Amino acid sequence: MKKLDDEQMKQVTALAEAMREKGKDKYKIGYALLYLLERNKLLEDVRKRAEYYVRFGQGEQELSNLRVALEKMHELDVVDADDSSFFVKE
């Protein structure tokens, strides 16, 4: 699957945000996209920090940075755990 270019990503992100704001996200597609974009951003940070840790000597500071990035991943799961509005009541 080909990656979208920056302009396309801006457009679909704006559409997802607009769907959420206007209450037009019945099947939570916009919600899912925005969640996955945030999660991907955090995972990319974990990947970069892990690569740096492995490449440059596995120093204590690099390990600490990697742990912080992993903790942010865990926080995303906890903070966003309130899905009370996730399912549409029909």
Confidence of residue 80 (pLDDT cuts 50, 70, 90): low
User: Each residue of 30-77: pLDDT tens digit?
Assistant: 999 999 999 999 999 999 989 888 888 788 888 888 889 888 888 887
**Range with the poorest average pLDDT among 8-12, 14-18, 54-58:** 54-58
Written as one string, the DSSP assignment of the chain is -PPPPHHHHHHHHHHHHHHHHTT--TT-HHHHHHHHHHHHHHHHHHHHHHHHHHHTT--HHHHHHHHHHHHHHHHHHHHTT--TTTS---
pLDDT at 54: 86
Q: Where are the domains of the chain?
A: 6-79
18-36 average pLDDT score:
94
Q: What is the pTM of this model?
A: 0.70
